Amino acid sequence: MNKKFFSGFSFVLFVFISTAQQRPLPVIDMHLHCLHADEQGPPPLKIGVPFRDFGVHDPANDYRKAFTNALKTSAWADKFIISPTTDDSLRELTLAQLRKYNVYGVTSGDPELLRVWKKQEPKRIINSLDWNFGLAKKYGLTVDTLEKLFSSGEFKVFGEVTIQYEGFAPSDTAFEPYLALAEKLDIPVGIHVGCGPPGAPYIGAVNYRARLHSPFGLEEALLKHPRLRVYAMHAGWPMIDDMIATMYTHPQLHVDLGVICYMLPKKEFYFYLERLVNAGFGKRIMFGSDNMVWPQSIGEGIETINKATFLTAEQKRDILFNNAARFLRLTEKEIKDMF
Ligand SMILES: [Zn+2]
């Protein structure tokens, strides 16, 4: 036996095995943001992973100050992660998380910034288009413009649709032409249904209302557009009964676990997820980090799913990958390339 060849061969084999071992099974993040470092307020900001509680507010004081203070000092959390202070570090740290956990992210944000991220990680970044009435006005994102953007192939997903912050339910007639377009072009739509920041109407989103957390607001839209692929971002937290009733009634509806998977007190998140799975919807729950300016939230969210003792290994893989791959209609080759 040629000893030199053998040792060379075992070296190659070793490298092959260790490379294969280093790359975890793929994850699809259905809810990733590409933001500027100061888009959630002046950095650095600390977010709870998870929050211990959501504080106590004396209305004699300014809630905006109390909220900002909680993010500056981590007053509501025992464990927290800190946001980077520059756009470059936010991008680099986010892309590093994607590589570390082998994540492919449906990513939305400032289109110019998104192009920079996409150029750096063309396979891991799946372009998605942020939309609400305010953005439409600011950037001229009319139905015609959207038709061009989606038809060009640059944007694969329509979301995050954040009209809840503006006081609109997804079935509002004003949003109707956009849903009609997405149905016509077969573009999946991710709609924010669930939680924004605590106290949202007091920190700028003046039309945000608690009642719009309910996925019941999706019903008429789903019925009017039966071929539309829709997912309720944040899984309609905390409206568990409404969410289950809506998924039961509308078999095409999916959800993502954005922000709730790392930010909510663990007991509450697991209670919510377990109920959705127990109710029979484990094949329609998709992982989402909703990372904004805290890159480590991606890994935190994935680990929270992996540590759920009530989920089988197969259920974890469904949530982290299989359900989204099916929902996005990825081809066999596209799926294979992600491993
Ligand atoms: Zn959201």
**Cα–ligand 1 centroid distance for 148 (angstroms):** 25
pLDDT digits (tens, 9 = 90+) for 208-254: 999 999 999 999 999 999 999 999 999 999 999 999 999 999 999 99
**Cα–ligand 1 centroid distance for 155 (angstroms):** 18
Query: What's the token pair of residue 116?
Result: 């920079």
C-alpha dihedral sign at 314, 320, 321, 325: positive
Give the pLDDT band of residue 22 (cuts 50, 70, 90): confident
The reported pLDDT for the residue numbered 141 is 95
Closest to 290 in 3D by CA, of 25, 27, 34, 86: 34
CB 192 within 8 A of CB 164: yes
Whole-angstrom distance, CA of residue 163 vs CA of residue 192 = 8
Architecture of the domain made up of 24-39+86-338:
Alpha-Beta Barrel (3.20)
Closest to 111 in 3D by CA, of 77, 79, 152: 152
**Cα–ligand 1 centroid distance for 132 (angstroms):** 12
Helix (H) or strand (E) holding 46: strand 46-48
**Cα–ligand 1 centroid distance for 85 (angstroms):** 22
Question: Percent of the chain having pLDDT more than 70?
Answer: 94
CA contacts within 13 A on the Cβ side of 254: 27
**Cα–ligand 1 centroid distance for 209 (angstroms):** 14
**Cα–ligand 1 centroid distance for 260 (angstroms):** 10
Helix (H) or strand (E) holding 232: strand 230-233
The reported pLDDT for the residue numbered 6 is 43
The reported pLDDT for the residue numbered 20 is 52
- Residue 336: is its pLDDT beyond 50? yes
Q: Mark the residues whose beta carbon lies below 5 A from ion ligand 1.
A: 192, 233
Whole-angstrom distance, CA of residue 233 vs CA of residue 219 = 15
The reported pLDDT for the residue numbered 131 is 97
Closest to 321 in 3D by CA, of 295, 297, 287, 298: 287
DSSP bridge partners of 29: 105
**Cα–ligand 1 centroid distance for 26 (angstroms):** 23
Secondary structure (DSSP) of 125-191: EEEEEEE-HHHHHHHT--HHHHHHHHHTTS--EEEEE-GGGGT--TT-GGGHHHHHHHHHHT--EEE
**Cα–ligand 1 centroid distance for 159 (angstroms):** 9
Hey, is 29 helix, strand or coil?
strand
CB 324 within 8 A of CB 286: yes
Whole-angstrom distance, CA of residue 133 vs CA of residue 162 = 9
CB 196 within 8 A of CB 154: no
